[in-house]
Amino acid sequence: MMTTTLKMVVGEMMENNPKFKVGYLRANWKEIVGNLEDKSFIHYLNGKTIVVKVDNSMVLQFMRMNSQVYSKKIEKLLSEICLIDKMEDDSGKSKSKEGESEENKFELIFRVENLKK
């Protein structure tokens, strides 16, 4: 008998609906970028590419330098919910799938745009 957990249901929703994934990332954006939350915004997601609008060129350069850090935080955050690069073994402990770490990297693209409303 297979049991369905809330984590599995939410994970399936995220895999099948990119808008749900974008909403989840936007809700946790401060956790990902810290104080730059007010100066950046996730515009959209296309596969493993995330387009982020930033307020000015200084923020753009800073976020480009730290894009790998943000990518890792996004992967970690999404793997907790939708098991992007993790699977559970028989003991219930999660482990990384072999050879998938490079495949599951997110590419962040930054664009300067005035975010003031």
Answer with the residue of higher pLDDT: 43 or 78.
Answer: 43
Which has the closest alpha carbon to 108: 35, 45, 31? 45
Distance linking the first and last C-alpha atoms of the chain: 52
- The yes or no reply on domain 6-86+95-112 and CATH 1.10.10 is no
Closest of 16, 19, 8, 14 to residue 78, by C-alpha: 14
Give pTM, 2 decimals: 0.73
Over the stretch 5-35, which tens digit does the pLDDT of each residue have? 777 777 787 777 888 889 989 999 999 999 9
Residue pLDDT, tens place only, 57-106: 999 999 999 999 999 999 998 888 765 544 444 444 444 444 444 555 78
Which residues touch 45 (CB under 8 Å, ≥6 apart)? 18, 21, 22, 25, 51
Q: Hey, what amino acid is at 44?
A: Y
What pLDDT shows up at residue 99? 44
Tell me the domain boundaries of the chain.
6-86+95-112
Nearest to 45 by CA among 69, 65, 15: 15
Higher pLDDT, residue 83 or 108: 108
